[in-house]
Structure formats: structure tokens, C-alpha cells
Amino acid sequence: MTQTAHKILLNALGLAEQDRAALAGALIESLETDPDTGVDEAWLLEVEKRVQELDSGQASTIPLTEVLLDISKRASGKSGR
């Protein structure tokens, strides 16, 4: 890391958490030279589809405690659902 970059880092570390997060996000985005076209739109459509399924009763949620118990059983070799 250059001295300039190190100075910028030290200054950035002094920012509020929200500002550091925004700065980090902007820096990461600047590294993405070949964005996956259509991925954001595909995820948005998937989320909308799942919300519609929940609202219509076609799908239902599973309580977190039940999911964690199932994961724990599977990890220990016991049968899950």
C-alpha cells in the first residue's frame, strides 16, 4: 500500500460507521469491471415472485428455530424433515 493510500485509510477509519460502509461499498463497486448484466433484475423478479407466493398462500415460512434444529440434526447425522 502506498503512503497516500495508507493516509486515506487512516482518515477513512476515523469516519462514522455509516460513512465507512458507504465508502467501502463505493470502493468495491469500483473494482467490479465486468458486472453480471441482468443479475439484479433477476433477483428482483425472484423476490417479487416469492412475496406473491407467500401472500397468496402458495408458500409458507418456517420458523427460524425449526430451521436451526433441522440443520443441527443434519450436521449430526440424524435425519431431518
- The domain locations on the chain are 1-34, 37-81
Please list, in sequence order, all residues whose beta carbon lies within 8 angstroms of the beta carbon of residue 15, skipping any fewer than 6 positions away. Answer: 23
pLDDT-based confidence at residue 32 (cuts at 50, 70, 90): confident
pLDDT-based confidence at residue 80 (cuts at 50, 70, 90): low
Query: The whole model's pTM is what?
Result: 0.45
Q: How confident is the model at residue 16, as a pLDDT? A: 95
pLDDT-based confidence at residue 54 (cuts at 50, 70, 90): very high
| CB 23, CB 12: distance < 8 Å | yes
* Average pLDDT over the chain, rounded to an integer: 91
Residue with grid cell 470502493, as numbered in its chain? 27
